[in-house]
Amino acid sequence: MATTTTTSTPFPFPPTYNFPPFFTPQPNTTTRHSQLHKWSLLIQAWCRHHRQYRLNLIEAVDTPLFHNAALRKRLDLREARAVVDWMCKSEEEGGGGRRAEWIDADGQKSVAWVWWRRPEEWADVVSEWVEGTGQKGSVLTVYEIVQGEGSASQEFHGMDFELMLKSLQVLVKRGKAQVFGSEGQEGVKFF
């Protein structure tokens, strides 16, 4: 399912993580918006640190991300869903700038993409890499892009394949790439 790489450095929690009210839904609208924004930044930073692209809330509510054992405070599943719901909305909708997207087919809202970089941003990173390595006009497999030696130093190395395909589709829409082949055997030509 999700590709997760364990890092040797501990995750640096922000100071608000050690403030008990951070774990309690705030009744004041302005304070609540600020709280949701801080949770969004924390979730994005956590996922980036752990190179995690999908977040399974049912599993995550028992991790330090949502459970501060020293304070004996946690976000329950309902509140974690509320945070991710907010992250899914655009800023115009009063949300968190579309920094998450639910991916549950059954509507249970238990698994979401966390966009510490949106697919459009990943597309820019991949495009810069293609340009910088002189691979315009080349055909690469998605596997080579994600797991190959040529991308080992890139931030997208080891990325979730489905997310890479979403990002490559952005390049297709921009006229910078063509994706072809069957599922699991996709190739990409860069223009």
Q: What is the mean pLDDT of each run of 10 residues along the chain (191 residues)?
A: 59 97 96 97 97 96 97 96 96 91 86 96 96 93 94 94 96 96 90 93
Sorted by where each begins, the domain ranges of the chain are 15-114, 119-190
At residue 3, the pLDDT reads 46
Burial environment of residue 84 by CB neighbours within 10 A (0 to 12, 13 to 18, 19 or more): buried
Please tell me the distance from the alpha carbon of residue 158 to that of residue 52, in angstroms, as a whole number.
10
Cα–Cα distances in Å, from 88 out to 108, 109, 164, 178? 15, 11, 19, 28
At residue 182, the pLDDT reads 86
Is the separation of the CB atoms in 48 and 5 below 8 Å? no
Any idea which architecture 119-190 has in CATH?
Orthogonal Bundle (1.10)
At residue 107, the pLDDT reads 79
Closest residue by Cα to residue 115 from 94, 95, 144: 95
Q: Do domains 15-114 and 119-190 have the same CATH topology?
A: yes
The matching CATH number, chosen from 1.20.1050.10, 1.10.10.570, 3.30.710.10, 3.40.50.1010, for 15-114 is: 1.10.10.570
At residue 184, the pLDDT reads 80
At residue 185, the pLDDT reads 87
